[in-house]
Copies of this chain bind each other. A is one copy, B any other.
Amino acid sequence: MTADATVMRHISQRAQQREVVGFHGVPLPDHVNRHLSPISLSGGRPHEGFYPLTKITYEFKDHPFGEPKVAEDASKLDLKRALNYGPTEGFPQLLEFAKDLVLLTNKPGYSGWNVTLTNGSGDSLHKVFNLLLDPGDTVLLEAYTFVPTINTIGSWGGSPVPVPINFEDGGIDVDYLEQLLEGWFQGQYQEKPFPKVLYTIPTGQNPTGLSLKESKRERVYGLAKKYDFIIVEDDPYGYIQLGAFTDGVDNPFDDDTYDSARFVKERLLKSYIQYDSDGRVLRLETFSKVFAPGARLGFIVGHSELIRRIIDHSNISTKAPSGLSQVSVLSAIAHSGGARGWIEWCVKVSKVYTERKNVLIRTLLESEAYKKGYFKYNEADAGMFITIDLNLPEGDDHRLELEGLRYKAIEKGVEVVLGKNMAFTPEYAKSAKFIRLTLATASDNDELIEAARRLSQAVLSFFEQ
Contacts and interface: CB of A to CB of B under 8 A. Distances in A.
Interface of A: 1-4, 6-15, 18, 20, 45-46, 48-61, 63-65, 67-70, 79-86, 110, 112, 119-120, 122-123, 126, 130-134, 137, 148, 151-152, 155-156, 196, 228, 230, 277-280, 292-297, 303, 305-306, 309, 312-313, 315-325, 327-328, 331-332, 335-336, 348-349, 351-352, 443-444
Contacts of A305: 4, 7-8
B82 A319 contact: no
A74 to B, nearest CB: 15
A322 B325 contact: yes
Contacts of A15: 130-132, 309, 312-313
Question: Mostly helix, strand, loop or mixed at chain A's interface?
Answer: mixed
List 10 A-B pairs, minimum CB-CB distance, nearest first. Answer: A294-B323, A322-B322, A49-B65, A83-B292, A126-B317, A55-B59, A3-B279, A57-B57, A83-B294, A48-B80
A148 B84 contact: no
B86 A294 contact: yes
A65 B46 CA distance: 12
A58 B59 contact: no
A311 to B, nearest CB: 9
Given A8-B305, A296-B320, A324-B328, 13 more contacts: A4-B305, A6-B279, A10-B280, A12-B131, A14-B130, A15-B309, A18-B309, A18-B313, A49-B69, A52-B61, A55-B58, A122-B317, A123-B319
B20 A316 contact: yes
A9 B328 CA distance: 38
Contacts of A279: 3-4, 6-7
B53 A318 contact: no
Contact of A12 (B54, B133, B295): B133
Contact of A119 (B110, B151, B318, B443): B318
A58 B81 CA distance: 17
A93 to B, nearest CB: 14
A132 B328 CA distance: 36
A294 B56 CA distance: 17
Given A152-B317, A296-B323, A317-B152, A53 B69 contact: no
Contacts of A83: 48, 51, 53, 292-295
A116 to B, nearest CB: 14
Given A54-B61, A55-B58, A10 B196 contact: yes
A306 B11 contact: yes
Nearest to A328: B324
Contacts of A137: 12
A228 B5 CA distance: 11
Contacts of A67: 54
Given A56-B58, A83-B293, A112-B3, A130 B12 contact: yes
A50 B64 contact: yes
B322 A295 contact: yes
Nearest to A331: B58
B64 A352 contact: yes
